Amino acid sequence: MHNDPWYILGAGSIGCLWAASLCHKGESPRLILRESSYQQFDQKRIPLKLLTPEQTSRFAVDIVSPETIHSPINRLIVCTKAQDSLSALNSVKPHLADNCQILLLQNGMGSQQAIRDALPTQAIWAGSSTDGAYLSAPFEVRQAGQGQTWIGPLSSHQQSEQGFYDLCNNFRLKVSQCDPIEQKLWEKLAINSCINGLTALFDCRNGELLDNGEKQVWLDQLITETSEVLAALGMPANALKESVYGVCQITASNLSSTCQDARKGRATELSFINGFLIQQANSLGVTVNSHHQLMDQLNATGVKTGQPATASSLCI
Ligand SMILES: NC(=O)c1ccc[n+]([C@@H]2O[C@H](COP(=O)([O-])OP(=O)(O)OC[C@H]3O[C@@H](n4cnc5c(N)ncnc54)[C@H](OP(=O)(O)O)[C@@H]3O)[C@@H](O)[C@H]2O)c1
């Protein structure tokens, strides 16, 4: 059993959700903030609130910054957005123990692979989650309902007795192992690549994509092309339309995270979703014109789609 403290990089919705859930398990996680954010707090032990439909729980958590970490990090969970994970990890790189276990919880793909390639001696894990959480105030996280998180190793040399298997037991979040994890990442990416960018383009809720009109025509084209990419990768592709329509129906009144980011003028994670899919399609020789068109139109309307990550951009 590990006694090393958990470090959580990024104190946003998912970072606070995981920190509170680890506290609930009896652990004492440390939240790593940006240096500038950290300096704003006089108290370095802060109250953390977790609100679920059933109850409110309160915990106390230590906050640290890259400059105030004084012991090697052996277990790290990266909870930034995909486009920030490279630079965030770079900021704590001097503190990573040689065999540090790193769990990446970013949506999409590309950032995880870039980190794995840049840190070949570390044990890199990736997660794919259907949890839904948002911050109603700093360090006050609301969890919408119980989702499912799949975690699995991205590095081939990892030993089974190490890592994050202890998160699968006595943990308030539903976490299961999955090896290889790539298929789970692809399953989520495939659905997100059809829904998220389109909701940002039309500035609409998920359910409004099923309009029997222009939006649904777009949606169907994206589903067809995405299915072709999945098939070329040797992954199950036949059920994608059912899955995408199902998500649009079940989350009909939701605004996707991409639509919310676009409304606020924030960077989206689309280069790690549609951008990654387009990259893969190019190397597989699959034509994805609708995905190209979607990204072009989003860029033309000022939505920040970003650049895909590469290991060389990590500067580690
Ligand atoms: N929220 C959900 O329900 C949900 C569900 C499934 C998956 N996810 C995925 O989980 C990931 C995190 O999402 P989120 O909703 O938690 O995002 P978020 O609320 O925006 O939180 C990200 C946090 O990372 C911090 N950060 C960025 N760069 C940093 C750095 N260099 N050092 C320290 N902290 C840094 C940000 O701080 P600043 O504000 O200062 O930039 C922010 O507090 C995303 O990939 C998302 O797609 C989210």
CATH of the domain at 259: 1.10.1040.10
| This prediction's pTM | 0.95
- 196 and 58 in a common domain: no
* In-domain check, residue 161: yes
Q: Up-side HSE of residue 303: CA atoms within 13 Å toward CB?
A: 27
- 91 and 218 in a common domain: no
What's the structural domain count of the chain? 2
Q: How far is the CA of 39 from the centre of ligand 1 (A)?
A: 19
Q: What is the domain range of residue 40?
A: 6-180
- The pLDDT, as a whole number, for residue 121 is 85
Nearest CA to ligand 1 atom 48: 14
The two structure tokens encoding residue 280: 């893969």
**Which of 13, 115, 128, 266 for mutating ligand 1's site (highest number of atoms within 8 Å of CB)?**
13
* In-domain check, residue 113: yes
Nearest CA to ligand 1 atom 20: 12
Residue type, position 65, single letter: S
- 205 and 112 in a common domain: no
- 191 and 147 in a common domain: no
The two structure tokens encoding residue 142: 């609301």
- 224 and 105 in a common domain: no
* In-domain check, residue 84: yes
- 176 and 286 in a common domain: no
Write the DSSP symbol of residue 140: E
- 170 and 64 in a common domain: yes
- Alpha-carbon span 204 to 113, nearest angstrom: 31
- 167 and 239 in a common domain: no
Domain boundary among 180, 206, 235: 180
- 122 and 30 in a common domain: yes
Which residues are near ligand 1 (CB < 6 Å)?
9-15, 32-34, 37, 79-82, 84, 87-88, 91, 105-107, 129, 131-134, 257, 269
Minimum-distance ligand 1 atom for the alpha carbon of 129:
6
Q: How far is the CA of 283 from the centre of ligand 1 (A)?
A: 30
- 29 and 145 in a common domain: yes
Q: What is the pLDDT along the chain (316 residues), one digit of tens a residue?
A: 467 899 999 999 999 999 999 999 999 999 999 999 999 999 999 999 999 999 999 999 999 999 999 999 999 999 999 999 999 999 999 999 988 999 999 999 999 999 998 898 899 999 999 999 999 999 999 998 789 999 999 976 655 556 687 788 889 999 999 988 999 999 999 999 999 999 999 999 999 999 999 999 999 999 999 999 999 999 999 999 999 999 999 999 999 999 999 999 999 999 999 999 999 999 999 999 999 999 999 999 999 998 765 544 433 3
**Which of 73, 81, 148, 173 for mutating ligand 1's site (highest number of atoms within 8 Å of CB)?**
81
Query: Which CATH number belongs to the domain containing residue 149 in this structure?
Result: 3.40.50.720
* In-domain check, residue 246: yes
Decide: residue 207, CB within 10 A, 0-12 exposed, 13-18 middle, 19+ buried: middle
- 106 and 190 in a common domain: no
- Alpha-carbon span 262 to 302, nearest angstrom: 9
* In-domain check, residue 314: no
Residue 215 bears catalytic tag: no
- 176 and 190 in a common domain: no
Scan for tokens 């490279």, then name that residue. 86
* In-domain check, residue 311: no
Residue type, position 308, single letter: P
Domain boundary among 180, 215, 250: 180
Q: If you count them, how many residues does the chain have?
A: 316
